[in-house]
Amino acid sequence: MKKFITAVALVAGTTFSFGQECNTQTEPNYNGNEAGCRQAISLYTEFLKQENFNDAISEWWPAQKICPQYKPVLYDNGTYLYKQAAKLITDKNSAEFKGKMDTLNTVYDLWIENFGDCYEIQMQKAHDNMMDENKRYNVAYKSYEKAFSTIPEEKIQSYDVVYYFRSTYFMLSGKLIDCEAMMNLYENLNGIAERKIKANQDSGNTGEVQNWLTAQQTMESYIAPCANCEQLLKIYKPQWEDDKTNLELAKKISEKLGKLECEDPIMMEMAVFIDSKEPSYSSKMALGNAFWTKGETSKATEYYEAAMAFPECTEDSKKTIWKRLGEYDLKKGKYKSAFAYGKQIGGCDGKYLQARAVSQSAGDCATNRTQRTAVYSYALDLAESAGSCVSDKWSAGLVGQLSTKAQLFSEGKKPGDSVDVPCWGFSVKLRVQ
């Protein structure tokens, strides 16, 4: 974990810089015993300079007892000592580690008791407790709640947000909060991240932009258990209902809900609104998808075609649209339309769609056995040109529909004869079983 306080006061005369809400006492309070207090402070800080944390801890307590309100730095150093001592313990499940963490929190309590509460103390306490996140996530979570309730937004760092939300993930796993609480917090923290990203982009601070983007990605990985349409709609639907003229809000909600393919009337409302304000490839596609989901395929096709007119629509995207429309027409018995979409798709997939369109037209187009054989022969020609897209099982099924030599002979035909394919305007050579 990134250390929250990067510098620790090592001498009695150094002061710790607090925020506006924290006690900024700079003059020492000797508690009526200047000589004893100075000596006690000197003893523990000497060990601290040497990074002899356990001996420094032993001498820190007499200093705290003699002059408990010496300066806030006394407790900043005390928490630092216990944190470093805890880090040196290899077995994080040991009684020794537990004892150090328990006392670390006791020192924080004394700090607040003697100098009052403030967001910096709570934030530091929260981060320290995340060293033992599997057992103290609830302690960290409560401290983060207190810190974030008063901290000015400009002072929030990306790692503050990440670890706060990580503690929330553990709270959810421990069934101490529900998905609604988690997602509400996510929305708030993600809002902070978005504002931080914009501010740093405006100032050209690319490093911080990346830090906040990473923070967003990390939070998104934690919300997986709750990232479903039901939970997200509880958050975003009221926001949309309250502000139906907010374009940025509509785009944000559409993006998040669209990833989950959420089906709700607000999806259509927002898609229409976005397209009316900023018509684009994305807005046309969103409307096409929305109408498609609703079953209004004609309207969807209209928007898909509009989307394909934008230069952002790649050939692969066009093929995806054509395939959707072609498969739909095939199901509806619009064989020639499906065949035409197959031609636009091209390649293996397009040929397979054409082969299916032709084969399924046999019932509507052929009136005798020879005509049916002509239809299936043409479909098999297309299937062979489709290659690996067509399974042997599918092809074998069509072969089974062909006439036998004897059947062709009874109708005055033989294998290899060229005949017209009814409905399709092509000539093919007849195949047999």
**pLDDT for the residue 24:** 84
Instruction: Count the Cβ atoms, other than its own, within 10 Å of residue 245.
Output: 8
Helix (H, G, I), strand (E, B) or coil at 278: coil
Evaluated on CA atoms 388, 390, 391, 395, the torsion sign reads negative
CA 349 to chain centre: 32
> What is the C-alpha to C-alpha distance for residues 386 and 344, in angstroms, rounded to an integer?
14
> What is the C-alpha to C-alpha distance for residues 271 and 282, in angstroms, rounded to an integer?
10
DSSP 27-70: S---TT-HHHHHHHHHHHHHHHHTT-HHHHHHHHHHHHHH-TTS
**201: pLDDT confidence band, cut at 50, 70 and 90?**
very high
What average pLDDT does the segment 248-260 reach?
85
Helix (H, G, I), strand (E, B) or coil at 429: strand
Alpha helices, H only, 67-94: 72-87
Q: Are strands 426-429 and 418-421 parallel, antiparallel or unpaired?
A: antiparallel
**180: pLDDT confidence band, cut at 50, 70 and 90?**
confident
Position 97 pLDDT exceeds 50: yes
Position 228 pLDDT exceeds 90: no
pLDDT tens, position by position, 339-398 = 999 999 999 999 999 999 999 999 999 999 999 999 999 999 999 999 888 999 999 999
Q: Which two tokens stand for residue 35?
A: 């000589």
Position 151 pLDDT exceeds 70: yes
Residue 418: HSE in the Cβ half-sphere, 13 Å Cα cutoff: 3
Position 104 pLDDT exceeds 50: yes
Mean predicted lDDT score pLDDT of the chain: 91
User: Which residue in this structure is represented by tokens 């408990």?
Assistant: 68
Q: Are 99 and 57 in contact (CB under 8 A)?
A: no
User: Which residue in this structure is represented by tokens 């599918």?
Assistant: 394
**pLDDT for the residue 22:** 86
**For a pLDDT cut of 90, what percent of the chain falls above it?**
80
What average pLDDT does the segment 188-193 reach?
94
User: Which residue in this structure is represented by tokens 């299916």?
Assistant: 356
H or E element that contains 420: strand 418-421
Q: Are 76 and 100 in contact (CB under 8 A)?
A: no
H or E element that contains 134: helix 133-150
pTM of the model: 0.61
Q: Are 140 and 126 in contact (CB under 8 A)?
A: yes
> What is the C-alpha to C-alpha distance for residues 167 and 174, in angstroms, rounded to an integer?
10
Between 286 and 146, whose confidence is greater?
A: 146
> What is the C-alpha to C-alpha distance for residues 326 and 319, in angstroms, rounded to an integer?
10
> What is the C-alpha to C-alpha distance for residues 62 and 68, in angstroms, rounded to an integer?
9
**pLDDT for the residue 263:** 79
Position 16 pLDDT exceeds 60: no
**For a pLDDT cut of 70, what percent of the chain falls above it?**
95
Position 399 pLDDT exceeds 60: yes
Position 163 pLDDT exceeds 60: yes
**pLDDT for the residue 69:** 97
**128: pLDDT confidence band, cut at 50, 70 and 90?**
very high
∠ at Cα 75 (69, 80), nearest 5°? 165
Position 20 pLDDT exceeds 60: no
What average pLDDT does the segment 226-248 reach?
88
User: What is the identity of the amino acid at 375?
Assistant: V
Q: Are 57 and 107 in contact (CB under 8 A)?
A: no
User: Which residue in this structure is represented by tokens 């000015």?
Assistant: 152
Q: Are 372 and 413 in contact (CB under 8 A)?
A: no
**3: pLDDT confidence band, cut at 50, 70 and 90?**
very low
**21: pLDDT confidence band, cut at 50, 70 and 90?**
low
Position 5 pLDDT exceeds 60: no
What average pLDDT does the segment 276-296 reach?
89
- Sequence-distant contacts of 239-244: CB under 8 A, at least 24 apart: 240/266, 240/269, 240/270, 241/266, 244/269, 244/273
What average pLDDT does the segment 53-79 reach?
97
**pLDDT for the residue 39:** 97
> What is the C-alpha to C-alpha distance for residues 385 and 389, in angstroms, rounded to an integer?
9
H or E element that contains 13: none
Question: Is domain 1-132 annotated with CATH 1.25.40?
Answer: yes
∠ at Cα 128 (196, 75), nearest 5°? 105
Position 335 pLDDT exceeds 90: yes
- Buried b / exposed e over 412-425, threshold 16 CB at 10 Å, is ebebeeebebbbbe
H or E element that contains 195: helix 179-203
**pLDDT for the residue 17:** 34
pLDDT tens, position by position, 316-334 = 999 999 999 999 999 999 9
Q: Are 359 and 339 in contact (CB under 8 A)?
A: no
Domain boundaries, the chain: 1-132, 152-225, 335-429
What average pLDDT does the segment 162-190 reach?
94
